[in-house]
Amino acid sequence: MIDLHCHSTFSDGSDTPGRLARLGEAAGLSALALTDHDTVDGLEEFLSAQPEVTTRLLPGVEISCAYLGRSLHVLGLLVEPEDPRFRARLAGLRGRRDHRNQAMVARLNHLGIPIRMEQVVAHAHSSVVSRVHFSLALTELGAASSPEEAFRRWIGDSGPAYVPREELEPAEAAAWIREAGGVPVVAHPGRFAGRNFRWDESMRDLRNLGMAGFEARYGDYGPAEERYFLELADRLGMIACGGSDYHGTHKAGLRLGAGRGNLRVPDSVLTEIERARRVYPDEAR
Ligand code: AMP
Ligand code: MN
Ligand code: MN
Ligand code: MN
C-alpha cells in the first residue's frame, strides 16, 4: 500500500517532513510522496529520513491551476527536488501567494477584524503562508471559534475575505512538472466537481494538456465516488492515482495511507507513475 499525497510544516500540514516519513513507516506503507503546496523545500529533510525508514520516500509537489474559472489542483510526482528552474518557478508562485495574502489581510481589516500579516505568518513554518495559517490566526484573535469556523465565516472559497490567487494554466503546470522530470496528475477531481460533471470530456481535455492521470482514490472520497473515478480512469486509459491528502491536525479525521479509513492505493500505481516518467507524453497515447 502507498500514499502519494500529503503535506508537511513546509506548507499547511502540522507534521514535519521527518515525522511524516516515520508515520508512513508506522502505517505500513511501501511508498509515501510528500506533496507540499508550491514548494519542494521540505523534501531534503523528508528524503534524508530514507536510511532509517524502509518506506520508499518520494518527491512531489502540489500546484493550483485555473481551469473552467475554478481552482484545479495538480500533483507533480517524482519531480527532481534540486532542479533550479523548477525551484525558481515555484518561488514565483509563492510571490503570487504573498500578494494574495496581503489582499486578504486588507479585506479582513475592512470587515472589521484587526488582523496583521505578522500574526498570520507566526503560524507558518516556511515561506508558504496559506489560508490554514489565516484560520489559526483568526481563531487566536477570537474572530472565529475554531479554524473550521474561520473558513465557513471568512476565508472559505465563498467567504467574504477570500481572495483567489493568480493561478497557472493546467498546460503550464504540466510542462513545468515534466521539465522537472516529474509526472503531472490531477489532484482530487471529485473536489473540483462531482460525478454529475462532464468528466469524460474535461478529463480528456486535461490529458491533452499533459496530465498522465488523476486521483481516482482519495482520502475524502466515498465508495461510489471512488468507483466512478476508477471507471473513468479505466475508460480513458489514465493512471488511477491516489493519496490521503493528510495535513495532520490541520485537517481532522484523515490518516496517512488510510484517509477516512477505507483508502487503499496499491503499489502498482507507483509502477505506472514510474513508467509515465520515462515515456514522453506524446508517445504515451
Ligand atoms: P490557500 O492555498 O492558501 O488558498 O489555502 C488552501 C488550503 O486551505 C487548502 O489546501 C486546505 O488545506 C485549506 N482549506 C481550504 N478550504 C478549506 C475549508 N473549507 N476547510 C478547511 N480547510 C480548508
Ligand atoms: Mn492544503
Ligand atoms: Mn489540493
Ligand atoms: Mn493537498
Question: Cα-flanking dihedrals φ and ψ of residue 139, to 5°?
Answer: -70, -45
| pLDDT bucket at 257, cuts 50 / 70 / 90 | very high
Q: CA-CA distance, 24 to 175, in Å (whole number)?
A: 30
What share of the chain has pLDDT > 70, as a percent?
A: 98
> Is the Cβ–Cβ distance between 167 and 121 less than 8 Å?
no
Separation of CA 63 and ligand 4 centre (Å): 9
For residues 26-34, average pLDDT? 98
Query: What are 192-232's pLDDT values in tens digits?
Result: 999 999 999 999 999 999 999 999 999 999 999 999 999 99
Q: Give the pLDDT score at 149.
A: 98
Q: CA-CA distance, 111 to 119, in Å (whole number)?
A: 17
Average pLDDT, the chain: 96
For residues 232-242, average pLDDT? 98
Query: What are 83-128's pLDDT values in tens digits?
Result: 999 999 999 999 999 999 999 999 999 999 999 999 999 999 999 9
Q: Give the pLDDT score at 285.
A: 41
CB within 5 A of ion ligand 3: which residues?
A: 73, 187
The residues with which 221 forms a beta bridge, in sequence order, are none
Which residues does a 6 A CB cutoff place in the pocket of ligand 1? 12, 37, 130-132, 151, 156, 247
Q: Give the pLDDT score at 279.
A: 66
The residues with which 11 forms a beta bridge, in sequence order, are none
Ligand 1 pocket, mutate which of 117, 132, 162 (most atoms under 8 A from CB): 132
Question: For ligand 1, atom 4, which residue shows the shortest CA distance?
Answer: 131
Grid look-up 503570487 returns 96
Q: Give the three-class secondary structure for 79.
A: coil
Ligand 1 pocket, mutate which of 71, 98, 120, 131 (most atoms under 8 A from CB): 131
Q: Give the pLDDT score at 278.
A: 75
Ligand 1 atom at minimum distance from 152 CA = 19
Ligand 1 pocket, mutate which of 10, 15, 130 (most atoms under 8 A from CB): 130
> Is the Cβ–Cβ distance between 76 and 182 less than 8 Å?
yes
Separation of CA 216 and ligand 4 centre (Å): 14
Question: Cα-flanking dihedrals φ and ψ of residue 261, to 5°?
Answer: 135, -30
Q: Give the pLDDT score at 135.
A: 98
Q: CA-CA distance, 32 to 11, in Å (whole number)?
A: 17
Taking residue 236's Cβ as centre, other Cβ atoms within 10 Å add up to 16
Ligand 1 atom at minimum distance from 165 CA = 4
> Is the Cβ–Cβ distance between 64 and 165 less than 8 Å?
yes
Separation of CA 252 and ligand 4 centre (Å): 14
pLDDT: is 283 or 173 the higher one? 173
